[in-house]
Amino acid sequence: MTRLLIIDDHAMFRAGLRKVLQDAPEISAIAEAGDWHGGMACLEAQPIDVLLLDINMPGCSGLDLIAPILERFKSLRIIMLSMYSEPQYAVRALRNGAHGYVAKDMEAVDLIAAIRIVSRGRQFVAPSITRALMDTAQGLAPDPRPHERLSSRESEILRMIVGGESLTAIAERLAINVKTVSTYRRRLLEKMALGSNAQLVQYAVHHRLVD
């Protein structure tokens, strides 16, 4: 039986996920948290087998949380929850130590299968993403789009800017200097050949890079 923890900052999504998963016979218990601190408290308070971790967490990227979580809870299995179907996000997640990567719009039966597979010690990546990864490896995929060239930190700051946060607010949330945030912004705009935040928002909306 699998003891599950969901860390996602959207309460309605967590509630829907719990409703979908609570009747799965292989899942014995479901805990949930809305942020990183709450999630750590849950992990310390009770044994957890599989963690469903949102890729977009308040103040940080879920991708950056994988390593510190596994350093502390070595037997834990982590599945990343993501709205991004682009294969580079799955690659980053797996390289950082995740054991699975699934899309948030995945069918319930497929998500339950992913939890089952990961809990048994194997890795799981959604079939659509697997095909994209294979195409990339075989040289069949098109050239990467501008946002696919961004680093994890640049992608994180992109999402915050598009979400309407100021550079000062971003610096406070990430605990870095405002000048550093400004440098990241300049770099990501250069990589994407964009000239302003307004163009960045238009690009993000067009490519469905934000909730």
Q: In sequence order, what DSSP letters do the residues of 136-168 get, joined into one string?
A: HHTT-SPPPPGGGGS-HHHHHHHHHHHTT--HH
- Asked if residue 87 lies in contact with residue 132, where contact means CB atoms within 8 angstroms, the answer is yes
- 96: how many CB neighbours lie within 10 A of its CB? 18
Confidence band, pLDDT 50/70/90 cuts, at residue 178: very high
Indicate if 103 and 171 belong to the same structural domain. Answer: no
At residue 208 the predicted structure's pLDDT band, cuts being 50, 70 and 90, is confident
133 and 77: one domain? yes
CATH code for the domain in which residue 159 is found:
1.10.10.10
Residue 141: its pLDDT value, please? Answer: 46
What would the pLDDT profile of 25-72 be if each residue is shown by its tens digit? Answer: 889 889 999 988 899 999 999 999 999 999 877 667 788 889 999 999
Total number of domains constituting the chain: 2
Residue 131's pLDDT band, with cuts at 50, 70 and 90, is low
The mean pLDDT value of the chain amounts to 85
Instruction: Report d(CA 130, CA 121) in Å as an integer.
Output: 18
Last residue of a domain, one of 118, 137, 156: 137
Give yes or no: residues 118 and 152 share one domain. no
pLDDT at residue 179, rounded to an integer: 92
Are 109 and 191 in the same domain? no
**Does residue 3 surpass a pLDDT of 80?**
yes
CATH of the domain at 20: 3.40.50.2300
Residues 102-111: pLDDT tens digits? 888 788 888 8
- For residue 169, being part of any structural domain is answered with yes
This prediction's pTM:
0.67
What pLDDT does residue 140 have? 40
Range of the domain at 37: 2-137
